[in-house]
Amino acid sequence: MDTKIYTIVSNKQLTRSIYEMKLEGDTSMITAPGQFLNIKLEGFYLRRPISICDWNENEITIVYKTVGQGTKHMATLEPGTELDILCSLGNGYDLEKIPANPVLAGGGVGVPPMYGLAKALVAQGKKPVVVLGFNTEHEVFYEEEFKALGADVKVVTADGSYGLKGFVTDGFDSADYACACGPEPMLKAVAAKAKDGQYSFEARMACGFGGCMGCSCETKYGAKRICKEGPVLEQEEIIW
Amino acid sequence: MVDMKVTLSGLVLDNPVIPASGTFGYGKEYAEFYDINILGSISFKGTTVEPRFGNPQPRIAECSRGLINSVGLQNPGLKAVKEKELPELAEIYSKPVIANVSGFSIEEYVECAKAMDEEPQVGIIEVNVSCPNVHDGGMAFGTLPETAAEVTRAVKAVTTKPVYIKLSPNVTDIAAIAKACEEAGADGICLINTLLGMRINLEKRQPVIANKMGGFSGPAIFPVAVRMVYQVAKAVNIPVIGMGGVESARDVIEMMMAGATAVQVGAANLVNPYACKEIIEELPKVMEELGIEKLTDIIGIIE
């Protein structure tokens, strides 16, 4: 974990509000899929926490949604722009706990960390079933990328305009083990169909590294900071 | 060689830079970034008798040049602070620390202060009568001279270490409150805590923060902090620790010229974990540029 300068290699629009940014720089601190970056943006006081989608020896891929002024500003940044980034934050997914045939469920902007996770699991010889949920057809992204990993991929849309109609929970019957990232009601619904699992949470943060207690949540084992002991929590400790 | 040493009630600090309570935990998150022993001191996370989770989520809102927080004094409680947090802090930080204590009653302030007074590591007890994020406590004691003085007297009666009272800017006459604390026996004054603020999410048509309001901090409040430090330093004869939006060595010097003997850095740590380190490293250079040999020479030089 450290603050370092990264250079934007590409910043590509995937859907109306989803962008993929590739950043060149030190990736040696990344220890697990599901960790995140905290990005300093010119003109904004707080950094923007964005999950890591994928990484290699010298490049990090993030996929983000333009929701507020900060992410809208990010979408305008040109390749070559240098960014001050705190990398890498949070615990990420514990791969050792994940069995051979897990269900990975990603909803909307919760899809990106599932990509890095699927890639790591496939590299371990595991066979994840990936369920990607979106509101509608034009919001679908990364289906081909997941397929290219060799994963079994199902796409679900709430309005049925693409793939299966319904929510991510309609994409699998039940799971011995699930990993999920997305809106909290989605995580809860996935957990209700899974015997065990790991779930990635979102929270408004200030620092991103445990200094301010801004993002704390209550768990069965006491308060945890989403940025430090999270963002990934174990199914059995979560208080829904 | 410039001299950065300052003295707070007999306690000599290598430099005046102190991370502010609530932005630095018990130091260990920052010790992952740098050796925190360079800090003048550390004001650790505010302690209450019982463990507190604090306020509901969300409790952070961004602002122009600052942020609003409504954390609400989350802390593991007095027992865990003494048995776990302070021993762990002692392993990574060898200088005296500032124990920030809070309360919902005079009795709670007394219990926390008394317990911190027993800790050899604690150099100063900082009594927070100014947290805007808790109801029926915290700030309520700091908004009137009489109640601020009452807390001061009660804490002084059970402690041997210097007692500094941390004041709220959300008052009509901060100098009168500072004077009342001094008359009640306070050894120093810390100011300012956060300004009560609010943000609204226009799309959702609701406050950004679950608690609606919270404490506004960051460089946006720096001029207000300098003004209040100046007013209080002129009104009292005890040391003042200045804080509120400090993010550079020049800000530290400005606070000291306004009357602060030492300076706390809060929000800046959250956006740059190296903020205090960079300020300490920058200070000698800025002092030389400004022709300052000893930092103590500039304390309160503004008439």
**What pLDDT digit, counting tens, does each position of B51-61 carry?**
999 999 999 99
Q: Is residue A95 within 8 Å of residue A123, measured between CB atoms?
A: no
Question: What ipTM was assigned to the predicted interfaces of this complex?
Answer: 0.94
Say whether pLDDT at A87 is over 70.
yes
Q: Is residue B214 within 8 Å of residue B200, measured between CB atoms?
A: no
Is B303 inside a domain boundary? no
CA distance B289 to B185: 39
Q: Are residue A109 and residue A193 in the same domain, yes or no?
A: yes
Say whether pLDDT at A189 is over 80.
yes
What pLDDT shows up at residue B94?
98
CATH number of the domain at B195, please. 3.20.20.70
Is A223 inside a domain boundary? no
**For the residues B274-283, what does the mean pLDDT come to?**
98
List CB contacts of B147: < 8 A, sequence separation 6 or more: B129, B140, B141
Does B185 lie at the interface with A, CB-CB under 8 angstroms?
A: no
Q: Which of A135, A177, A170, A176 is nearest to A154 (CA)?
A: A170
Q: Are residue A6 and residue A85 in the same domain, yes or no?
A: yes
The first and second tokens of residue A180, run together, are 């999920």
Q: Are residue A132 and residue A173 in the same domain, yes or no?
A: yes
CB-CB neighbors (< 8 A) of B208 in chain A: 204
First to last CA, chain A: 30
Decide: residue B33, CB within 10 A, 0-12 exposed, 13-18 middle, 19+ buried.
middle
Q: pLDDT tier at B221 (50, 70, 90 boundaries)?
A: very high
Query: What is the tens place of the pLDDT at every residue in A160-173?
Result: 999 999 999 999 99
CA distance A37 to A129: 26
Q: Is residue A51 within 8 Å of residue A34, measured between CB atoms?
A: yes
Size of interface A-B (CB pairs under 8 A): 85
Q: ω before B192 within 30° of 0 (cis)?
A: yes
CA distance A35 to chain B (A): 17
Q: Are residue A85 and residue A6 in the same domain, yes or no?
A: yes
Q: Which of B129, B146, B274 is nearest to B192 (CA)?
A: B129
Q: pLDDT tier at B1 (50, 70, 90 boundaries)?
A: confident
CA distance A19 to B290: 47
Q: Are residue A101 and residue A84 in the same domain, yes or no?
A: no
CA distance B236 to chain A (A): 32
B25/A213 touch (CB, cutoff 8 Å), yes or no: yes
Q: Collapse the DSSP code of B249 into the 3-class scheme (helix H, G, I; strand E, B; otherwise coil) and give the result.
A: helix
Q: Are residue A83 and residue A50 in the same domain, yes or no?
A: yes
Given A62, A89, A116, the domain boundary residue is A89
Q: Are residue A14 and residue A110 in the same domain, yes or no?
A: no
Query: What is the tens place of the pLDDT at every residue in B146-201?
Result: 999 999 999 999 999 999 999 999 999 999 999 999 999 999 999 999 999 999 99
CA distance B41 to A165: 59
Residue ranges making up the domain that contains B210: 6-298
The first and second tokens of residue A41, run together, are 């943006």
CA distance A208 to A92: 14
Is A230 inside a domain boundary? no
Task: For residue B54, give the nearest of A1, A209, A213 by CB distance.
Answer: A213
CB-CB neighbors (< 8 A) of B61 in chain A: 204
Does A9 lie at the interface with B, CB-CB under 8 angstroms?
A: no
Q: Is residue A203 within 8 Å of residue A217, measured between CB atoms?
A: yes
Is A61 inside a domain boundary? yes
- DSSP codes, B28-96: HHHHTTS-GGGSS--EEEEE-SS-B--SPSP-EEEETTEEEE-----B--HHHIIIIIHHHHHHH--S-
- Chain A's closest residue to B275, CA to CA, is A3
Q: Collapse the DSSP code of A189 into the 3-class scheme (helix H, G, I; strand E, B; otherwise coil) and give the result.
A: helix
- Chain B's closest residue to A210, CA to CA, is B29
What pLDDT shows up at residue B44?
98
Q: Are residue A71 and residue A40 in the same domain, yes or no?
A: yes
Chain B segment 235-294 residues within 8 A of A by beta carbon are 267, 269-274
Query: What is the tens place of the pLDDT at every residue in B19-68?
Result: 999 999 999 999 999 999 999 999 999 999 999 999 999 999 999 999 99
Q: Is residue A6 within 8 Å of residue A38, measured between CB atoms?
A: no
Q: Is residue B254 within 8 Å of residue B14, measured between CB atoms?
A: no
CATH number of the domain at A45, please. 2.40.30.10
Q: Are residue A83 and residue A110 in the same domain, yes or no?
A: no
Q: Are residue A80 and residue A146 in the same domain, yes or no?
A: no
Could you give the angle at which helices B174-183 and B145-158 cross, rounded to 10 degrees?
30
CA distance B297 to A188: 61
| CA dihedral sign, ordered A77, A88, B27, A95 | positive
Annotated active-site residue B131? The verdict is: yes
**For the residues A74-94, what does the mean pLDDT come to?**
98
List CB contacts of B91: < 8 A, sequence separation 6 or more: none
CA distance B223 to B154: 33
Does A75 lie at the interface with B, CB-CB under 8 angstroms?
A: no
B45/A213 touch (CB, cutoff 8 Å), yes or no: yes
Mean pLDDT (chain B) is 96
Q: pLDDT tier at A95 (50, 70, 90 boundaries)?
A: very high
A45/B74 touch (CB, cutoff 8 Å), yes or no: no
Q: Which of B69, B270, B276 to mutate to test the interface with A (most CBs of A within 10 A)?
A: B270
Does A5 lie at the interface with B, CB-CB under 8 angstroms?
A: no
Residue ranges making up the domain that contains A110: 95-200
Is A17 inside a domain boundary? yes
What pLDDT shows up at residue B136?
59
CB-CB neighbors (< 8 A) of B23 in chain A: 211-212
Query: Which amino acid, A81?
Result: T
Select which of B131, B181, B190, B276 is catalytic. Answer: B131
Is A239 inside a domain boundary? no
Does B69 lie at the interface with A, CB-CB under 8 angstroms?
A: yes
Query: What is the tens place of the pLDDT at every residue in B109-141?
Result: 999 999 999 999 999 999 999 877 676 556 678
Looking at the 3D structure of chain B, how many domains does it have? 1
CA distance B116 to B224: 31
Q: Is residue A219 within 8 Å of residue A233, measured between CB atoms?
A: yes
Q: Is residue B153 within 8 Å of residue B184, measured between CB atoms?
A: yes
First to last CA, chain B: 28
The first and second tokens of residue A161, run together, are 């305009």
Is A214 inside a domain boundary? no
Q: Which of A175, A180, A179 is nearest to A194 (CA)?
A: A175
CA distance A1 to A27: 10
Q: Are residue A127 and residue A142 in the same domain, yes or no?
A: yes
Say whether pLDDT at A154 is over 80.
yes
Q: Are residue A85 and residue A101 in the same domain, yes or no?
A: no
Does B27 lie at the interface with A, CB-CB under 8 angstroms?
A: no
